[in-house]
Structure 1
Amino acid sequence: MNKFMDLLENILLPIADKLNNNRYLTALRDGFMVALPLIIFGSIFVVIANFPFLDHIISKDAYTAYQNALGPASAATLSIMGLFVIIGIGYKLTQHYKGEAIYGGVVALASFLILTPQVVGKTTGVIPTAVLGAQGMFVGIFTAFISAELYRFFVQKNWTIKMPPGVPTAVSKSFSALIPITFTLTFFLVIRILFSLTPFETVQNFIYTIIQEPLTKLGSGLPATIVAVLLIQLFWFFGLHGQIIVNSVFDPIWYTLNDQNLKAFQAGHELPNIITKQFMDSFLVGMGGTGMTLGVVLLIFMIGRSRQLKELGKLGGPAGIFNVNEPIIFGLPIVMNPLVLIPWLLAPVVVTCITYFSMATGLVPKPAGVIVPWTTPIIINGFLATGNAWQGGVLQAVNLLVVMAIWWPFLKILDKNYYENEKSAGTIDISHNDEFSINKH
């Protein structure tokens, strides 16, 4: 095992170092870190607002009022998290070039808003929040990169307005940024106009179409499901909301199969399908969120030595129980982190195959078609999804152990890397029992 760990370190750490020295990937990572506190805040209130089975405990009107009262917490953070990431990327990339970082952030935001269609249904002058969140992240990330580079280019060309001495610094900086910002935003306005002349109409429609059309040809079945799972994981690795992109194509198929199982279950007939919507939601997402990161949280508590991972476990653990894992995705981080790419892609595929063949051989009942609330914790989730069969809960427990086994060597390397960095930075003291305390010096 030690030789295997050393081999992984020798392969992965050099790759990670090279990627960490790339200014774009560094800006992307740091941009997500800007949004992390807001993401964690929103994640907490998503759990509270969607607490499992609360709608069966209180009246329908009371439950609606309860959700409406707490809804703004996530609507103002998670639902528009793309905006914070875009500002963060523009800010950090401009800061890398020693420019006025705040202008890099705001020009990135303004550029993205210029590209964003301001219409909902027949109402104009409004921006759909969906494109301000994870759904619009892909366009937002590249817009932030390009806008920051354009802004830097115009500044370095000295296409700026020089104010005379004695003018307040804030005023001087504003006028200095005027021409670079104007040219940058004009570039994106031209891009928007050009796309409006195409059948796609908007940049967002263009991106969505070129991703959606290949997915629609996959169909259903185990091979297609594995491809869908891999795509979900891969999109998330690059900071894109994999569920929104992939599920928008597969949900109609999965829900149809789910409904067929429900009708057969209610009639007492044999269930026809293994792959259904509840198969995906209960035996993949229902184990701590996308990528089944509840296993990662448990491993952090078991083997984590670095202060960074220990604190992350405390933050991500409670939300992970209810299948909300943005704190882990953006805090570990999983986004653009080559040290975790292998388990991030491999574990869901392995669990998908184990679950499929367990149900195909009759060891575990197929999903009964019952829609289980997505925040329902593991074990209970599997029990209810299989029509109150204890085997469903046991299968989830087994899958959780599989995920932990796959993640263990990689998380060990990541933890060791963080631990060594903390030691070299002098932010921790090491005691005889490997517990850390903050260095006061």
Structure 2
Amino acid sequence: MTENVNRLGNWLITGEVRWRRNRQVAAIYRGLRTILPLIVLGTFAEFINQAWLEPNGYYYQTLHVARWMLQRVRVQEAVLLLQNGTLGLAAIGLAFVISHDLVATATPVTNDQMAAGFTAVLGFELININPLTLAVGKPVQWLAMDLGLHGLPVGVLIGLLVGNVYRWIVLRWRQPANQLLRPMTLSLSGMVLMGLTGMLWLLRQPFSIRAAFNTLIRWPLQLSNDVWRLLDFSALNGWFTWLGVLGPIPTTPNQTQAQAENLAAAIQHSGWHLPHPLTVQSVIQTYASMGGPGMTLGLVLAIFLVRHNAEQRQIGWLTLISTLGNFNAPLLLGLPVVLSPILGIPLLLAPLATILVSSGFLAAHWIPAAAYPLAVGTPGPLIGYLGTSGALTPLLLAALDLALSTAIYYPFVKWASLAQARAEEEAQAHATI
């Protein structure tokens, strides 16, 4: 595929191709593609549950679901089962696939590949046991803190650790005549080591990756509400999202208090003069998170504008509904945006640009700040309109921010498409040698 690209684009495309050649990155990407059906189905189930079946859901309230849906509780139980089953399996499956893939590049022996994968699964399981249930005579219970989307970074780390160690040993241990000897020895040794590691993990009070992320990312918001704190928060959130730490935007007690004071002022006083116009709710959640963290609704629109990559458009259509409701995990993992040097740049830049624009409009009092809390699943462009009780100017600002984010994403989406095509051409050429 040939296309005129400027110097920056060529530099980024070359860097992306080199990045994809890395064995570790290639294993992670293949793992993400393998678990993508689980992520799509689980995220869609989560969207249905929170937006349609929960009383605080947008479609539950606007379409009056309680009036016409029969056996809503039973339907919700089935949806929750599907959600937890698919997303819970995704992190475990990711650890298995990455470890299996790394060993597969070193040996064609299936027993070695499967043993490495199952050793990684065991390691993931052992750090998700509730230590309080390990007493004799009690049934063992599993913790959900690192399952689902929150556990994907843990799955990546365990898969890389087990896969690389197993691969290193395989390359130095000549395959014996009995093909069961090496996988049996390594898997048993690995399982014992994982058991000891899990015991030490439990003795040191296990923690959630998501909890650690929330603690770190909240620190810019501990001080006053101003645009610089919001920019720091957005940059940190974008960086962690690029690393694969996915989930809703966290908040802090002082942010919650500021939102409560804004709501009280909007209800009790006329004129819509809010004491805290620049908060996470009024700026980031309203104007810089359409489609979820990273302003990814602009990414979807950019995908549809870049017409020469059918695979990107398929991912766009597949994730459009959930992204419109601000559930963007399938989009971030399907392209992928996670760990992509090219797409990581607009993932950071698009929210920062929309925060600056929106904060300027709010500071100049050209638009009212959103004060009303909104239902889960509210389409991103409508949040400002509904959060100000129907003011039109926030709707116009939302359209401006969406156009700005789409313009920022567009060249990077095109370059990512060209990098993918070049990487596939290199892989085909290497396969024919």
TM range (shorter): 0.7 to 0.9
Give the corresponding residue for 2:153: 138
Kept in 1, the 8 Å contact 2:220–2:232? The answer is: no
Kept in 1, the 8 Å contact 2:94–2:159? The answer is: no
Greater CA deviation, 354-363 or 48-57? 48-57
Displacement of 1:6 after TM fit?
Answer: 1.5
Partner of 1:131, secondary structure, is coil
**TM-aligned CA distance change 1:206 to 1:366, over 3 Å:** closer
* Equivalent AA in structure 2 for residue 388 of structure 1: G
Displacement of 1:349 after TM fit?
Answer: 0.9
Give the corresponding residue for 2:255: 254
**TM-aligned CA distance change 1:72 to 1:276, over 3 Å:** farther
Greater CA deviation, 215-224 or 375-384? 215-224
**TM-aligned CA distance change 1:10 to 1:107, over 3 Å:** same
Give the corresponding residue for 1:178: 184
Within a 5 Å distance, the mapping from 1:63-74 to structure 2 comes to: 63-74=72-83
**TM-aligned CA distance change 1:207 to 1:413, over 3 Å:** closer
Partner of 1:319, secondary structure, is helix
Give the corresponding residue for 1:430: none
Give the corresponding residue for 1:290: 293
Displacement of 1:102 after TM fit?
Answer: 2.3
With normalisation by structure 2, the TM-score equals 0.84
Quick one: which of 236, 240, 249 aligns to 2:241?
236
1:409 aligns with 2:411: yes
* Equivalent AA in structure 1 for residue 231 of structure 2: I
Partner of 2:380, secondary structure, is coil
Partner of 1:104, secondary structure, is helix
* Equivalent AA in structure 1 for residue 383 of structure 2: N
Displacement of 1:390 after TM fit?
Answer: 1.6
Partner of 1:77, secondary structure, is helix
Quick one: which of 82, 104, 110 aligns to 2:116?
104
Kept in 2, the 8 Å contact 1:233–1:291? The answer is: yes
Partner of 1:134, secondary structure, is helix
* Equivalent AA in structure 1 for residue 322 of structure 2: A
* Equivalent AA in structure 2 for residue 266 of structure 1: I
Identity among equivalent positions (%) equals 23
Give the corresponding residue for 2:327: 324
**TM-aligned CA distance change 1:44 to 1:356, over 3 Å:** same
**TM-aligned CA distance change 1:78 to 1:214, over 3 Å:** closer
In structure 2, what is the Cα distance between the partners aligned to 1:22 and 1:425?
Answer: 13
Quick one: which of 215, 225, 229 aligns to 1:224?
229
RMSD (Å), alpha carbons: 3.1
**TM-aligned CA distance change 1:159 to 1:305, over 3 Å:** closer
Give the corresponding residue for 1:48: 48
In structure 1, what is the Cα distance between the partners aligned to 2:222 and 2:40?
Answer: 35
Displacement of 1:120 after TM fit?
Answer: 7.7
In structure 2, what is the Cα distance between the partners aligned to 1:12 and 1:306?
Answer: 18
Gap regions ≥5 residues in structure 2: 53-57, 429-433
Kept in 2, the 8 Å contact 1:162–1:176? The answer is: no
Give the corresponding residue for 1:17: 17
Kept in 1, the 8 Å contact 2:59–2:377? The answer is: no
Displacement of 1:9 after TM fit?
Answer: 2.3
**TM-aligned CA distance change 1:420 to 1:19, over 3 Å:** closer
Displacement of 1:242 after TM fit?
Answer: 5.6
**TM-aligned CA distance change 1:372 to 1:4, over 3 Å:** farther
Kept in 2, the 8 Å contact 1:236–1:335? The answer is: yes
In structure 2, what is the Cα distance between the partners aligned to 1:210 and 1:351?
Answer: 23
In structure 1, what is the Cα distance between the partners aligned to 2:140 and 2:275?
Answer: 48
Kept in 1, the 8 Å contact 2:369–2:388? The answer is: yes
In structure 2, what is the Cα distance between the partners aligned to 1:179 and 1:328?
Answer: 40
In structure 2, what is the Cα distance between the partners aligned to 1:333 and 1:217?
Answer: 28
1:310 aligns with 2:313: yes
Kept in 2, the 8 Å contact 1:234–1:345? The answer is: yes
* Equivalent AA in structure 1 for residue 197 of structure 2: I
Displacement of 1:401 after TM fit?
Answer: 0.4
* Equivalent AA in structure 2 for residue 263 of structure 1: A
* Equivalent AA in structure 2 for residue 413 of structure 1: W
1:272 aligns with 2:275: yes
Displacement of 1:354 after TM fit?
Answer: 1.4
1:58 aligns with 2:65: yes
In structure 1, what is the Cα distance between the partners aligned to 2:133 and 2:354?
Answer: 40
Displacement of 1:392 after TM fit?
Answer: 1.8
Q: Which has the higher contact order (CA 8 A, sep 6+)?
A: 2
Kept in 2, the 8 Å contact 1:371–1:385? The answer is: yes
Partner of 1:320, secondary structure, is helix
Alignment: residue pair count: 406
In structure 1, what is the Cα distance between the partners aligned to 2:320 and 2:28?
Answer: 25
Gap regions ≥5 residues in structure 1: 164-171, 427-441
**TM-aligned CA distance change 1:121 to 1:366, over 3 Å:** farther
Kept in 1, the 8 Å contact 2:13–2:418? The answer is: no
Kept in 2, the 8 Å contact 1:235–1:242? The answer is: no
